[in-house]
Structure 1
């Protein structure tokens, strides 16, 4: 059974720009409200609040309130202009940071994301520990977050948005979500209002009714949402990037910042990854190394090889030429190594020339890969084979 985490940031537009390192600044402690651009705000009858942080919400400031009324209610309120494009970019960066927990991460609307943690929880001490650690880290970034873990994306979403959040044990979604309001089904507002006017206020009220009358009265939108909730239908998810079956993760006991520590971590991960590739009969063609910084940043470098390879020394040389680009900042807390492209690599065979031709081609392929790593990306395997032929034609 698959397991999903839903993350919801109810005050995302007003909170994502804050950083823990800004904790001492005067504005960091002041409540914040965002307004839309002036042209749009005045067209709607004056500037109005479009988003608030948790501090402003606690003081009674809410979206839709005229900004003049908000300032009268809370004189210390700081006001900024909203920037939806920046909000979306920041959410995508945070989603990439979340790949330290699972390779399958997708944005969910403008203020949330979904993580498929199937098979990953044991790496973090189990589901409860994973969700607690993830929530704690996100809160450390200055974010208000509601997190839930369940059998389906829809049930996790309902538990995070309309429920208390936390971990729902496997197979418990139907019973757990029954008392939740129908807003947990993520229905259009008009349909939600119609259900509530008819007295169908909780998800359990709908689950107790026959399917055919529900579909006839309210349409397929409602029955489909119920099917997604209960796992009768798979919910389409668009991850940030395709998942790789060859992936190794390392969590640092303490943040590291020296090149020597980064090298040791990479060597350890590469040893494990090459073992996985060897057992699968695969060689590495393209590989990415990501480091996760304590302030929520992610840095990534990639290498490519002209031929499938499991040559540890050669791969480490390719990485060494790019590791200088990594800035550990306040420290690296986790590392990730994944083979984004692999190719079958059969066992080496001894040729009649005692392996001289194979050794020549391998050496030239490694030279091509190093040249590409230095910026000569136009060199490819065809060039490598041509060069190999030229070398063999030279007189000894």
Structure 2
């Protein structure tokens, strides 16, 4: 087996920065009691000003002013770690979050799909950066060794033959043992993990306990402590606190893009799609301390999708048409209908230009921009009258092998543009190309028609579909145009 460890050393700060419109400005996370507030984490701009984690908030204000403060939210950090575990589930069915600030996954069985460690390391890194998380990665024959190697550098990989030698050269403060155990070993004059491996087991167990021996054996792969594995949830629920009141839907596009990107990563991990999701806009309280109900925007799809750009475009189209009853203070995305996703079939030599959209994606974008009622499909209807030979349908027109009257009639020449109501043909006729074709129908619903249809060419070279009363010689009525 081969295990990879993804260490997320700045995860608490990354959770905030990935949703922040100005991550380059000085920002700190604060926690602790009100009387003893301290800095939990700082970004690069704040660190450049002399601020450090663990510093009291009073001391920070004494050094510099003008930095932004955000409350540290451990629950948001765990939610982000669960999101990354669901994303990692795409690469392995054995994913664990039992190591603090890290995710481990078994990658030995995935080499045929994703390549060897250099290719997989590059791919995981690109996707983590796109999601907005800093990381260090390492791989080893067991998860405990992989976790320890991430304390040294990014990209390390050792197989069974080289692992013991690499661990022996590791400083003991980097191997993951408890701080008091490390301090006691250093007082004994030990600096490298190899020297600890060489100590007699019985005296080591008497002084430090059996847990230390178990940890050392796990690092070498001589013991396999039980692992708890992550199981992705059957729904997606994510929320972004805006930190201020937003009165325009345009200002919600930045957090919306992050939420839809997270949804896409979650769907890719479980190899599924989304058929419907909801945007919940959270509003501030009334002046009478009564909370305004959340505004709900439903985004429904005719076919499951999971591409981040596609989900964002659909949600943006719905959001821009929504009326905000009050300023928004939070944005939440909830997706519970997660059916299997079947990618569109593509030919080996696809002639479609790269910038062209597949029909399913174009249809969903039009529905989001124009509304559900304005985008529909057409289906044949068993009626010979042209204005009644079709019906509006939601989605694509249903396919059927059963022959119908209009299906037979459709073999004849029919125009692509049928007028809403017939009107006199005012263009001079150059010649008659086909006809007459007689249509008599509708006697059963008091809308009887008896017409002789002609395919004619006008003096301008246009082709028209026109008729006159059956057996008559009156003027032609225009009913449609050919392209």
Question: Does the alignment reach a TM-score above 0.5?
Answer: yes
- 2:134 is the alignment partner of 1:154: no
CA contact (8 A) 1:59 1:74 kept: yes
- Secondary structure in structure 2 of the residue aligned to 1:121: helix
- Secondary structure in structure 1 of the residue aligned to 2:170: coil
Give 1:174's match in structure 2, choosing from 148, 164, 175: 164
Unaligned runs of 5+ in 2: 233-259, 275-299, 312-338, 342-483
Shift in CA distance, 81/203, structure 1 to aligned 2, threshold 3 Å: same
TM-score, normalisation: structure 1: 0.58
Q: Which residue of 1 aligns with 2:8?
A: 9
For residues 354-385 of structure 1, what are the alpha-carbon distances to aligned partners after superposition, in whole Å with 9 as ceiling and x for unaligned?
A: xxxxxxxxxxxxxxxxxxxxxxxxxxxxxxxx
CA contact (8 A) 1:30 1:76 kept: no
Cα distance in 1, alignment partners of residues 101 and 264 from structure 2: 17
Cα distance in 2, alignment partners of residues 296 and 329 from structure 1: 5
Larger Rg: 2
Alignment of 1:327-366 (within 5 A): 328-330=307-309
CA contact (8 A) 1:104 1:240 kept: yes
Aligned residues: 258
- Secondary structure in structure 2 of the residue aligned to 1:91: helix
Q: Which residue of 1 aligns with 2:382?
A: none
Deviates more, 1:192-201 or 1:82-91: 192-201
- Secondary structure in structure 2 of the residue aligned to 1:101: coil
Q: Which residue of 2 aligns with 1:87?
A: 77
TM-score, normalisation: structure 2: 0.48
Q: Which structure carries more relative contact order (alpha carbon 8 Å, separation 6+)?
A: 1
Alignment of 1:85-124 (within 5 A): 85-124=75-114
Shift in CA distance, 295/61, structure 1 to aligned 2, threshold 3 Å: farther
Cα distance in 1, alignment partners of residues 134 and 47 from structure 2: 12
CA contact (8 A) 1:35 1:48 kept: yes
Q: Which residue of 2 aligns with 1:133?
A: 123
CA contact (8 A) 1:32 1:53 kept: yes
CA contact (8 A) 1:49 1:66 kept: yes
Q: Which residue of 2 aligns with 1:245?
A: none
Q: Which residue of 1 aligns with 2:221?
A: 231
Alignment of 1:274-353 (within 5 A): 293=261, 297-299=265-267, 301=272, 324=303, 326=305, 328-330=307-309
Alignment of 1:23-102 (within 5 A): 25=21, 27-36=22-31, 40-42=33-35, 46-57=36-47, 60-102=50-92
Give 2:189's match in structure 1, choosing from 199, 205, 208: 199
For residues 25-47 of structure 1, what are the alpha-carbon distances to aligned partners after superposition, in whole Å with 9 as ceiling and x for unaligned?
A: 3x22113211115xx242xxx21
Going by fraction, where is helix more abundant, 1 or 2?
Answer: 1
Give 2:200's match in structure 1, choosing from 185, 198, 210: 210
Shift in CA distance, 153/49, structure 1 to aligned 2, threshold 3 Å: same
Shift in CA distance, 33/214, structure 1 to aligned 2, threshold 3 Å: same
Q: Which residue of 1 aligns with 2:391?
A: none
Cα distance in 1, alignment partners of residues 310 and 273 from structure 2: 21
Unaligned runs of 5+ in 1: 243-291, 304-320, 339-396
Deviates more, 1:76-85 or 1:178-187: 178-187
CA contact (8 A) 1:19 1:295 kept: no
Cα distance in 2, alignment partners of residues 192 and 337 from structure 1: 49
Cα distance in 2, alignment partners of residues 56 and 182 from structure 1: 31
CA contact (8 A) 1:32 1:80 kept: yes
Going by fraction, where is strand more abundant, 1 or 2?
Answer: 2
CA contact (8 A) 1:294 1:331 kept: no
Offset of residue 234 of structure 1? 0.7
Cα distance in 1, alignment partners of residues 137 and 49 from structure 2: 24
Offset of residue 212 of structure 1? 2.4
Cα distance in 2, alignment partners of residues 55 and 147 from structure 1: 25
Offset of residue 198 of structure 1? 1.6
CA contact (8 A) 2:28 2:70 kept: yes
CA contact (8 A) 1:157 1:184 kept: no
- Secondary structure in structure 1 of the residue aligned to 2:41: strand
For residues 289-338 of structure 1, what are the alpha-carbon distances to aligned partners after superposition, in whole Å with 9 as ceiling and x for unaligned?
A: xxx958863236599xxxxxxxxxxxxxxxxx986454633259xxx979
- Secondary structure in structure 1 of the residue aligned to 2:96: strand
Cα distance in 2, alignment partners of residues 120 and 135 from structure 1: 16
Cα distance in 1, alignment partners of residues 48 and 169 from structure 2: 26
Deviates more, 1:47-56 or 1:229-238: 47-56
